[in-house]
Amino acid sequence: MTSNGPLSGIRVLDLTIAMAGPLCSQRLGEMGAEVVKIEAPGGGDFSRHSPMAGVSRFGDATCFVTLNRNKRSLVLDLKSEAGKDVLYRLVESADVFVQNFRPRVAAKLGIDYATLNAINDKLVYASISGYGDEGPMRDRPGQDLLVQSYSGLTFNGGQASGLPHPSPLYMVDTSASHMACEGILAALVARSRTGKGQEVKTSLLSAIMEMQIQEVTSYLAADAPPRRGASPQVSIWMEPPYGVYSCETGNLAIAQADLEVLSDVLELPQLARLKVERPPQKDADAVTAWRDRICALVAGILATKPAEYWDELLHEHGVWCGVVQDYATFLENGQADPYLVSMEHAVGGTYKTVAPGIRFSDDPQPEMRGAPIYGADSTAILSESGFGEAEIGTLLQSGAVVENSDQ
């Protein structure tokens, strides 16, 4: 398969599961790299079998289908010596190796950086862990909600009387995938100068720390950090009335807004007075009460008219705001159309999904191939990699390599 993408000619061995790793390698594939997804016997990447909201149109779960396009599947038993030897031979000619095992697991399997670098010192080796390879949490499972909860993020929103407030999105996985991809690209650039590969490390914890760089730094510098109050908060770190409000019909989100401007537009003179009455930051109780008063005033007036009315009025006066939409209204208004792509799946047929988020002028319409059927490419990959027909037959017979016979 040929590609005009900027990573054309780069071969990636992808030993990742779940989201952060597969999304990273998928992005490399969208940029033109050849990505070989190496899966274990017995079902492979567990996200194949983890439906999101029960959606099972594709045979595999949508979680897998949307994170593994532009890849081929090789089923390899790395617990067998024959399977491990196959991997080592593939490493000899690979450019990038990506894995997201827990730190000790990679060494146990014999696929750690030191081992593979000894085979191919040009290899760019990327690892994505949950909490890094040091510290008391290093062997705990790294999962998005767990890392959000561990890192303090969940107390940045919501109400004091309510539960901690995590994001419903797998935003930590997504951010970690971006960081790993950026690191791989930087290491490939360095290799073009030095001729040597290197190890690229990131983690879900490092990703969420970077996402909270403003909040963590502000916390460390604050005399008294802000805290949640009686009014529901999107972020305790943003000045009120930053948040989402219920209107007569619909809901309105307000971002940055000058209280004097809002005072005039909403005909609430109290807001102008409250602007100059902000308590000192070191008085956390007073700041929380001040925030709650502002939010309550704004909520009271916005509840009297539809969200569309307030959106138009406030926008005219330079207030950053917008009507809150669900997927139905968002995907109907046309703004999202350039960011969607129609694809074909061997089982699910034609479907729409999110298009690559990065576009290149030299490859404006990159080839988009659906996620691979489990083990569909095992024989082809080995044959292309120099394995003889008899050798492949022996590997298949021993179970070190598995080919999907149902395709």
Which DSSP string do the residues of 108-153 spell out, in sequence order?
A: HHT-SHHHHHHH-TT-EEEEEESS-SSSTTTTS---HHHHHHHTTG
User: Does residue 148 contact residue 215 with C-beta atoms inside 8 Å?
Assistant: no
Q: How far apart are the first and last CA of the chain?
A: 20
Active-site residue, 45 included: no
> Tokens for 298?
């704004």
Integer Cα distance of 126 and 112 in angstroms: 10
Whole-number Cα distances in Å, 383 to 1, 105, 250, 380: 14, 29, 58, 5
User: Does residue 402 contact residue 41 with C-beta atoms inside 8 Å?
Assistant: yes
**Tokens 């983890």 belong to which residue?**
50
Q: Which of 173, 311, 363, 377 is catalytic?
A: 173
Integer Cα distance of 190 and 350 in angstroms: 40
Residues with catalytic function: 173
